[in-house]
Every structure is written in C-alpha cells, then in structure tokens.
Amino acid sequence: MISEDTIIASATAPGIGAIAVLRISGVKAISLTDQVFSKDLPTAKTHTIHLGEIKDGDRILDQVLVSLFRGPHSYTGENVVEISCHGSPYIQEQVIQLFLRKGCRMANPGEFTLRAFLNGKLDLSQAEAVADIIASDSEASHKIAMQQMRGGFSSEIQLLRTELLNFASLIELELDFSEEDVEFADREAFLELLNRIEKTLKKLIDSFSLGNVIKNGIPIAIVGKPNVGKSTLLNALLNEERAIVSEIAGTTRDTIEDEITIGGIRFRFIDTAGIRDTGDQIEQIGIKRTFENIEKARVVFFLFEAKELQTHPEELHATIDKVRQKAREQPVLLLANKADAMETEVYKEQLHQLGNSTGMDFLALSALEHTGLDQLKDKLLHLVNTGTLQKNETIVTNSRHYDALLKALAEIQKVQESMEEGISGDLLAIDIRQALYHLGEITGEITTDDLLGNIFANFCIGK
Ligand code: GDP
C-alpha cells in the first residue's frame, strides 16, 4: 500500500505570510529538489538546512531554505524536503508547479501523516491526535491531544491485546488436541487478564464523557425568570455585548450559545428564555427549550434576584424544585444576582438557608458590577471536576475510539460469560477473536481502507 509517488503540498496556511513551507515526501524528494536547487543535495547529510535558490531553468523563483531529512528518520519515514520560501502565494504556486512538472504529485489531505502511519512512525490513534493538536483551541484540548500523540492509551491497549492474543493462540491450540482433553491456557490467569482488560476498557469509556465535553466545550445552562440578569451575567462572563440585554421582561427568547475559556477549559454557555407561567406562545416554546437545555447541560446556573429571598421566598423555592426535577444528574448553582441593589446584607442569611435546605451550592453576585465573578468561575471549575485532567489520567476524546472500546468491552464481557458457563473452546475462540479485532481497531493493528480513508480525509492538505 506504500506509494512510490513523491508528493508535494504547502504545509502553511493559504494566503500571504512572511514565510511559507512547502513539503515534499517520497523516494525522489531529495533528487527532484536537487534538480532545481542551486546547492548540491545528493551528498548532504540528514537533518541539515541549506540556503540557496530555486530555479526554473534560468529563472530564479526565490531564495529559500531547504531542510533535508533522509528516510526513515523523518516525519513520514520517507525522504522529506521542506522548502521555506517567501510567503507569496505566487511564489508557492510557481515552485509547486515546477515540482509537479518534474514528476511530483499533489498530496491528498492527511497523506503525509497517512504515510507516517503506514511506515510505522505513528500508530493510528497518534496519527489522529495530530489532527486534534492542529484543531486544539484551549489548554485542556491541547493537553489531551498532546498526551494522545505521545502514545496515550494506545500503548496500554496494545499490551493488553498482545496478552489476549497469546491466550487466543493457546486456546486455539487446544482445539487441535481436542481429543486428548488438554488445557494449555491457564484458565485462572486468563480470567484475571479478562478482568484487567474489562477494568481498563471501562475506565477509558467513562473518560469519554469528560473528554468529549472538553473537546467540544462543557455545556452550562443559565436559567431563571425574565429580567433577573441572565444576559448581563453572560455578557459579564464573555466580556462583550453579544446577548441582548433589555429592560422588558421576556426578551431573551432564543437560546444563545457562547463560548468562554475558564482555567484552560472551554465552556459553552446557553442563555435561555426565562421560566415563568405565560400565555405567550413564543415564550412557551422558549420555556420548553429551557428545560431541554437543562437536560443537555453539565452544570446549571439558577439565577434569581437577591431581593426575592425576602419578597418571594415560597415562589423561589417552588421554581428551584422545578429545576431540580429537570436537573436530576447535574449540579445546580444558586446565584443571587443584583446583590449591589440590596441595601443590607440580611439576604445573605436567607441565601445560606436556601443553600442548606436545597443542598445546592450558592453564591451572591452582581452581574452588572462584576462582583462575585471570580468565585463563580472557581466554583464552576470545581463542579466540573477537572481533577481528572490535573491528574494526567488518560481521557478518550475520539468517538471512533469510544465506539471501538464499547464493542471491545461487549466482546470481553461475552468471553467472561462464556467462561463462567464453561462454553466450548471453539466458541470461546470466536469471541476472543472479535475482542482482539475491536482492540486492534483502536491502535490501527487492524485497519481497512475505508477506515483509513475516513480518518485522513478529515486532515488538512500538507499534514
Ligand atoms: P435576563 O432577562 O435575565 O436576561 O435579564 P437581563 O440581563 O436582560 O437584565 C435585566 C435588567 O437587570 C437590565 O436592566 C440589567 O441591567 C439589570 N441587571 C442585571 N444584572 C444586574 C445586577 O447585578 N445589578 C443590578 N442592579 N441590575 C442588574
């Protein structure tokens, strides 16, 4: 499957820049560059940089730096040349055209990384992490992608898979001696291995829900009656006027999502229409959506005016009960807004009591004057349990891996059941093979052209 073609693509973003990097990989990368470059390259050592001119016949196209890597000691494992030229789209185009005439072809999306995978420089999950690193836009998503690229959990899976493979071979060997009733595979050790694999898979599967939200942003719903200051709070957090703030109750009818990075983690704030009994049709749709958003959120901010603690305590309790019924799984944070408008601090005592009686965390703040926002951010980080991130634990973010992990777990559990039932070796062997297959899909030990095509088609050209 390894291609003989030598490929070229720009590795830098399109448009004008100070410098652009053109990347060439393949058997002929060095010899082709040598034909158009003013310096001698065939004898040049690997990992060296050369200043010279790229010439199309007598015409000098640009003065460039050529970085040279001899396979297998390169990103792709093949000969690689990287030309750093001036970042004019015209120059890039001219140099690329020159190489195409000399016999290169344009690289497909992700083809450099595909070649790195095919040449054993990266396993599949590491190759996928390359795309995640390029796409990472927060400290947390960057950290997870880096961890995965350094080997992440695929090396762990690979080891377990090798152990399982050994057992599979022993059990299959038993089948050849079926008449003699021998057992080569130590059943107790096998059960122990199955338990270990099950535990590892479960841990990785559990990490996906956190991993996924970190990659896509952790959804937070801000709910509360109209006019309590939801948009103002959102704006304060975003520090820009994006949601509509208005004096008329019920204006934030549509849900607005905005993203903000706090403590290196991306949050998606969902500002919602208020909760209140209303005959207005449009608003009722908004309220229905509010409840849907509560279900989708990982944390719920319940916002009310601090003065309500004194003026409408029963109504406040009733609404909080409603929210609790919708937010059964997620933590709800009680936020007493407009604290600045309170003359005395008596409400604090009542807020305390409200927190105690509902068992919810609480905080007084002023969205308008930006007080209490730091405490709010601290509480938020605490609530989403970012401890897992700090501890450097493995987190699965890729839905393909998640899928393969679920399938592998199901197969492993099937094997465990079969063992308990004392099922015959030939049937056991089939289940083990299935589990091996799904584990291999994660690391890329088992691949199909479709799978590779799907993964690498999502890369940018030049990577
Ligand atoms: P929403 O309907 O819940 O989104 O409420 P808005 O954010 O539109 O705010 C309604 C009104 O309350 C606006 O006039 C805001 O300026 C005001 N407001 C919001 N937060 C505070 C606050 O902390 N203190 C005071 N005094 N007024 C606030």
Instruction: Write out the chain in H/E/C secondary structure.
Output: CCCCCCEEEECCCCCCCCEEEEEEECCCHHHHHHHHECCCCCCCCCCEEEEEEEEECCEEEEEEEEEEECCCCCCCCCCEEEEEEECCHHHHHHHHHHHHHHCCEECCCCHHHHHHHHCCCCCHHHHHHHHHHHHCCCHHHHHHHHHHHCCCCHHHHHHHHHHHHHHHHHHHHHHHCHHHCCCCCCHHHHHHHHHHHHHHHHHHHHHHHHHHHHHHCEEEEEECCCCCCHHHHHHHHHCCCCCCCCCCCCCCCCCEEEEEEECCEEEEEEECCCCCCCCCHHHHHHHHHHHHHHHHCCEEEEEEECCHHHHCHHHHHHHHHHHHHHCCCCCEEEEEECHHHCCCCCHHHHHHHHHHHHCCEEEECECCCCECHHHHHHHHHHHCCCHHHHCCCCCCCCHHHHHHHHHHHHHHHHHHHHHHHCCCHHHHHHHHHHHHHHHHHHHCCCCCHHHHHHHHHCCCCCC
Does the C-beta of 389 come closer than 6 Å to ligand 1? no
Least confident stretch, 213-217, 336-340, 379-383, 397-401: 213-217
- Nearest-angstrom CA–CA distance, 28 and 7: 9
Which numbered atom of ligand 1 lies nearest the CA of 245?
8
Q: Which has more confidence, 187 or 31? A: 31
Per CATH, domain 7-118 is 1.10.150.300: no
> Binding site residues for Mg(2+), as ranges?
231, 252
The answer to whether the beta carbons of residues 201 and 157 sit under 8 Å apart is no
Q: How far apart are CA 133 and CA 126, in angstroms?
A: 10
Q: What is the pLDDT of residue 446?
A: 75
How high does pLDDT run on average in the chain?
A: 83
Does residue 81 surpass a pLDDT of 70?
A: yes
- Residues 6 or more apart whose CB falls under 8 angstroms from that of 106 comprise 7, 8, 9, 96, 100, 461
Tell me the two tokens of residue 459.
Answer: 């890369």
Q: How far is the CA of 122 from the centre of ligand 1 (A)?
A: 53
Q: Which candidate, 412, 461, 452, places its Cα nearest to that of 22?
A: 461
Residue 160, Ramachandran bin (φ over 0: left; ψ between -120 and 50: alpha; else beta): alpha
Cα(233) to centroid of ligand 1, in Å?
Answer: 8
What are the pLDDT digits (tens) for 410-441? 999 999 998 888 887 788 888 888 889 988 88
Ligand 1: does its nearest atom lie under 6 Å from the Cβ of 247?
yes
- Integer Cα distance of 386 and 380 in angstroms: 10
- CB of 124 within 8 A of CB of 443? yes
Whether 340 is in the pocket of ligand 1, judged by its Cβ within 6 Å, is yes
Question: From the alpha carbon of 365, which atom of ligand 1 is closest?
Answer: 23
Instruction: For ligand 1, say whether the CB of 372 is within 6 Å of any of its atoms.
Output: no
Q: Stretch 197-215: mean pLDDT, rounded?
A: 82
Ligand 1 nearest atom to the CA of residue 250, by list position: 2
- In angstroms, rounded to a whole number, what is the distance separating the alpha carbons of residues 231 and 251? 10
pTM for this prediction: 0.59
Higher pLDDT, 191 or 250: 191
**Which of 368, 369, 370, 373 to mutate to test ligand 1, by most ligand atoms within 8 A of the CB atom?**
368
* Closest C-alpha among 57, 369, 30 to residue 232: 369
Residue 247 confidence (pLDDT) above 50: no
Q: Exposed, middle or buried: residue 208 (CB in 10 Å: 0-12, 13-18, 19+)?
A: buried
- Predicted pLDDT at 458: 72
The least confident of 248-257, 346-355, 364-373, 433-442 is: 248-257
* 367 CA to centre of ligand 1 in angstroms: 7
| Residue of 233, 245, 303, 340 with the most ligand 1 atoms within 8 Å of its CB, for mutation | 245
pLDDT digits (tens, 9 = 90+) for 442-460: 877 777 777 777 777 777 7
CA 232 to ligand 1: nearest atom: 7
Q: What is the Å distance from ligand 1's center to 451 Cα?
A: 51
Minimum CA distance residue for ligand 1 atom 8: 245
Q: Indicate if ligand 1 lies below 6 Å from the C-beta of 121.
A: no
Q: CA 350, CA 344: separation in Å to the nearest integer?
A: 12
**Is 238 touching ligand 1 by the criterion CB < 6 Å?**
no
Q: Is the pLDDT assigned to residue 324 strictly greater than 60?
A: yes
Residue 226 CA to ligand 1 center (angstroms) comes to 9
Q: Is the pLDDT of residue 254 over 50?
A: no
Distance 173 CA to ligand 1 centre (A): 74
Q: Relative to the CA of 249, which ligand 1 atom is closest? A: 2
pLDDT at site 250: 45
The whole-number pLDDT of residue 368 equals 93
Distance from the alpha carbon of residue 236 to the mean position of ligand 1, in angstroms: 11
